[in-house]
Amino acid sequence: MCIQSKGNIFMNLQWMDWLIVGALLAFLIGVAVRTHLLTRSVADFLAGNRCAGRYLLTMADGMAGLGAISIAANFEKFYESGFSGAWWEQILAPLGLILALSGFVIYRYRETRALTMAQFFEMRYSRRFRVFSGMLAFFSGVLNYGIFPAVTARFLVYFCGLPQSYEVMGFTVPGIAPVMFLLLAVALTLTLSGGQIAVMITDFFQGQMVQITILICFFVLLSRISWPELISGLQMAPEQASRINPFKQGDTKGFNPAFFVMIAVLNVYGFKAWQGSQGYNAAPKSPHEARMANILGMFRAQVLFLLSMLCPLFVFAMLHLQEFSVQADAVQSILSTIDSPQIQSQMRVPAGLSQLLPLGVMGLFVAMIISAAVSTDDTYLHSWGSIFIQDVVMPLRKKPLSQRAHMWLLRGAIVGVAAFAFFFSLFFPLNEYIYMYFQITGAIYLGGAGAVILGGLYWKRGSVEGAWAAMIIGSVVAVSGIVLRNLIWPYLLPDWKLAHPGTTWLQDLPVAFPLNGVQMSLIAAVSAALAYVVFSLLSKRPPVNMDKLLHRGAYAVEAVGHHPEGAADNPVRATDPMPVGWRQRAYRVLGINRDFTRGDRFIYLFATCFALFWFICFLVGSAIAVTSGISDESWIRWWGFKVVITIIVALIATVWFLIGGFRDLFDFVRHLKGIQRDASDDGTVRGDEHLQESD
């Protein structure tokens, strides 16, 4: 067989870099194989038997949510918006604070003890609704995930200088194909070895490595391009697309203030609704640990800020400063080989970083991107494969499966999801901002799911009829947006120039379609929420027994560290009593209950003050900018202060989570070795767990 490559293989990386990458992959596979001994039941495979502590969850779930495609999307977003985009993202600060500190959704969801969100749907609504929502979640999820392997592989191809195509027996094979195959093969090995246990443990190790790598890369980039040089480069942006002054962004493409406001609304509406990491939602050993993991994630986000925000700004400066003209020419030479303007946009930052990072650090960066890719791949493969079996296949079966057969069926579905993702990525061209594609494909499920979840967990009058109406209307509106934008709109206005003429309808994106993916997602969400409320109020079903749903009061279930929220008989911890008097009343207002130790209360209050500080700065700064204006020089000083504080917090969080994470890891393994398995705990809803009549 004759294979020829087009491009200089291994052009950007040296032997030391590839040695680092190889060592990472070997370590991950070795760890995953060892976890096979810990996976003995369906609950193990799906949710780590609900034994995970806060630091393990923070690192592993955070890593699963990072993803190489998310890194690429953030690079794309902040290259276009710069520091100004970070300013408008602070609109999300109070929302993130409230959602994390209150345990919004995740606390009550963990109390239901459901292994998947659709299992909760069956408990709360009906079996047929579970099957329908499971099918919808699966379809939306695999379609959303379908572009992940290609974006990641393309990132690595252009960053590493790998061949862009190969000639195999007279056929041209895209250069991303072997990279996708390798990454998916590694992710499959991890997932099939031990299910959620293997996913969680390997994601934890990858999360620790990524945090350290981010700090190293940041300081290396700062040594290559100084802070004054960075600012000089950013000042070369157009006047109305400022990367420094957020109030000079009239010409910023896509990622303007309105974008961040809409994202804020959608974040609240769909909080924890997306099931790409559903195994992590069920994995905490108690609802309190789930809440604390969310709070700790606020500090880990400071480390990620150094990557997602500052890396694209260093590249922007390099491409605009005269003293880096040689490197800029090299980047433009790489980008000139790409036909698609949208893919050029996605690959600009990776190509730029390949010209800035030195030997060894290049290898660490590639290892980080591979870790981000594999951690998201294994989590998504596990989630969508599990959802298809648990929420579509199993509810339709009349006879239960044995534990062994059940787990093998789950593994088969996971392999099927990987095969779909490989071929979809290979043949589907992404001619859209990554974030916009995420929003519109996710809205197929999220458009209605947000209303169904919030109503089901917090409103006893929410009904089966309301759930069906919300899910159907949300999905129909989202799909209608896709069809209108890609199929109908180009032919309604034939004189408008298409972004990619001569291609199939799936690839046609009209230049001036009036709505983007985020706007269409918001319309779908509002429509679904209204439908849920109206149809629930029209329903004649009796209110749901929320104590039974949440295992409170007479229905309480013992769990490690779990005291049911609001229970009157929670014992006061003798070694760590709650304060009395005004402090007790203040804690009650803040949502601090008897589950909180002194250390938990300190973390909670510090996180509150930290987030509120930045939000108050946002409000005051915005008011001053609107009324009297703020000079670019003042904005430069502000961003310097912001970066310094972020570095300090990032360094502390890295050491803190390293210690706490390994403590939780050892505790997790010890629990799995000693816990008594329950064969009936397989995600099946039995008759006495139904809360509303079947529809």
More confident call, 239 vs 230: 230
**Residue 359 forms part of a structural domain:** yes
- For residue 95, give the 3-state DSSP assignment: helix
**What sign results for the dihedral spanned by CA atoms 24, 27, 33, 36?**
negative
Please report whether residue 287 resides in a domain: yes
**The last residue of a domain, from among 541, 574, 608:** 541
pLDDT digits (tens, 9 = 90+) for 44-59: 888 788 888 899 988 8
Q: pLDDT tens for residues 454-468?
A: 888 888 888 899 999
- Do 223 and 117 lie in one domain? The reply is yes
**Confidence class of residue 509 from pLDDT cuts 50, 70 and 90?**
very low
Per 3-state DSSP, the chain is made up of helix, strand and coil in percentages (nearest 5) of: 70, 0, 25
- Which structural domain range is residue 494 located in? 442-541
Name the strands in the sheet holding 165-168, side by side, starting at the edge strand that comes first in the sequence: 3-6, 165-168, 171-174
pLDDT digits (tens, 9 = 90+) for 634-660: 999 999 999 999 899 989 999 999 999
Query: Are 398 and 470 part of one and the same domain?
Result: no
Q: Is 545 exposed, middle or buried (0-12, 13-18, 19+ CB in 10 A)?
A: middle
Range of lowest pLDDT (31-45, 134-148, 263-277, 468-482): 263-277
Most distant CA pair in the chain: distance in Å? Answer: 81
Query: Residue 510: pLDDT above 80?
Result: no
Q: Does 560 score more than 70 pLDDT?
A: no
Judge if 251 and 134 occupy the same domain: yes
pLDDT of the residue at 108: 85
Asked if 328 and 448 sit in the same domain, the reply is no
Amino acid 648: pLDDT: 92
Residue corresponding to tokens 């912001």: 642
Tens-place pLDDT, residues 274-297 = 777 777 877 888 888 888 888 888
Residue that is last in its domain, among 502, 520, 541: 541
Please list, residue by residue across 141-161, b when 16 or more beta carbons sit within 10 angstroms of its beta carbon and e when fewer do: bbbbbbbbbbbbbbbbbbbbb
The verdict on 174 and 291 lying in the same domain is yes
pLDDT at position 575 is 45
Task: Return the H-helix or E-strand segment holding 5.
Answer: strand 3-6
Per-residue pLDDT tens for 612-633? 888 888 889 989 988 988 898 9
In sequence order, what DSSP letters do the residues of 256-280 get, joined into one string?
Answer: SHHHHHHHHHHHHHTTTT--TTHHH
- CA-based angle 473:505:492, to the nearest 5? 75
Residues 345 and 390 in one domain: yes
According to the model, what pLDDT value does residue 468 have? 94
Residue with more model confidence, 565 or 599 = 599
Q: Give me the pLDDT at residue 494, please.
A: 53
Which of 494, 525, 523, 524 lies closest to 510, judged by CA? 494
Asked if 172 and 165 count as a contact pair (C-beta separation under 8 A), the reply is: yes
Over range 672-676, report the average pLDDT. Answer: 83
Residue 336 has pLDDT above 70, yes or no: yes
Q: How far, in Å, CA of 108 to CA of 592, rounded?
A: 15
Higher pLDDT, 344 or 141: 141
**pLDDT computed for residue 70 by the predictor:** 74
Res. 694: pLDDT tops 70 = no
499, pLDDT greater than 50: no
Is 346 or 617 the better-scoring residue by pLDDT?
617
* Predicted pLDDT of residue 392: 84
Is there a single domain that holds both residue 427 and residue 447?
no
| Predicted local distance difference test score (pLDDT) of residue 530 | 92
Q: Are 426 and 462 contained in the same domain?
A: no
- Strands (E) in 160-304, as ranges, are 165-168, 171-174
Question: pLDDT-derived band of residue 571, with 50, 70 and 90 as boundaries?
Answer: very low
- pLDDT at position 144 is 84
- How many domains does the chain fold into? 2
Measured CA distances, 443 to 234, 397, 438, 553 (Å): 35, 29, 8, 36
- Whether residues 446 and 345 share a domain: the answer is no
Q: Which of 337-351, 553-567, 641-655 has the lowest mean pLDDT?
A: 553-567
231 located within any domain = yes
Q: Is residue 546 part of a domain?
A: no
Residue 105 pLDDT > 50: yes
pLDDT given for residue 506 in this prediction: 38
The residue with greater pLDDT, 337 or 613, is 613
Residue at 586 is within a domain:
no
Instruction: Choose from 242-256, 439-453, 462-476 the range with maximum mean pLDDT.
Output: 462-476
pLDDT at residue 1 is higher than 60:
no
Is 654 a domain residue?
Answer: yes
Mean pLDDT score, 561-570: 39
pLDDT of residue 337: 78
Q: Is position 557 within any domain?
A: no
Q: What are phi and psi of 639, to 5 degrees?
A: -70, -30
Instruction: Tell me the mean pLDDT in the region 579-607.
Output: 75
- 254: confidence class by pLDDT, cuts 50, 70, 90: low
How far, in Å, CA of 386 to CA of 281, rounded?
13
The answer to whether residue 649 sits within a structural domain is yes
Between 161-165, 230-234, 259-263, 560-564, the lowest mean confidence (pLDDT) is in 560-564
Task: Write down the mean pLDDT value for the chain.
Answer: 79
Least confident of 259-273, 309-323, 461-475: 259-273
Q: Helices 257-269 and 68-89: crossing angle, nearest 10°?
A: 110
Q: Per-residue pLDDT tens for 318-329?
A: 999 998 988 888
449 and 336 fall within a common domain: no
More confident: 285 or 271: 285
Tell me: do 63 and 110 sit in the same domain. yes
Torsion of CA 492, 447, 431, 305, to 10 degrees: 150
Contact 95, 618 (CB under 8 A): no
Q: What is the mean pLDDT of residues 65-82?
A: 77
> Which domain CATH number covers 664?
1.20.1730.10
Rounded Cα distance between 137 and 141, Å, is: 6
Asked if residue 480 and residue 408 are part of one domain, the reply reads no
pTM of this structure: 0.76
Residue of higher predicted confidence among 18 and 496: 18
- Residue 415 pLDDT greater than 50, yes or no: yes
pLDDT digits (tens, 9 = 90+) for 166-213: 777 777 778 888 999 999 999 999 888 888 888 889 989 988 898 899
Model confidence at 485: pLDDT above 80? no
φ and ψ at 238, to 5 degrees? -55, 155
Please determine, for residue 583, whether its predicted confidence score (pLDDT) is greater than 70: no
Residue type for position 323: E
> What percent of the chain stands above pLDDT 70?
80
* Distance, CA of 191 to CA of 94 (rounded, Å): 36
Final residue in a domain of this structure, among 493, 511, 541: 541
